[in-house]
Structure 1
Amino acid sequence: MTWNGLQGFQTPIEPDSFIVDNMGSFGSFHQERDLTYVEFSFSGHMTPQFVPWAAFQSIAYLLGKRPSPSA
Structure 2
Amino acid sequence: MFPAFVGASLEYGNAWATRDEISFDDALLGGSIWVGIDTPLGPIYGAYGRTRDRDSAFYLVLGRIF
State if a TM-score over 0.5 links the two structures: no
Tell me which of the two structures has the higher relative contact order, counting C-alpha pairs closer than 8 angstroms and 6 or more residues apart.
2
Q: Which is strand-richer, 1 or 2?
A: 2
Q: Which is helix-richer, 1 or 2?
A: 1
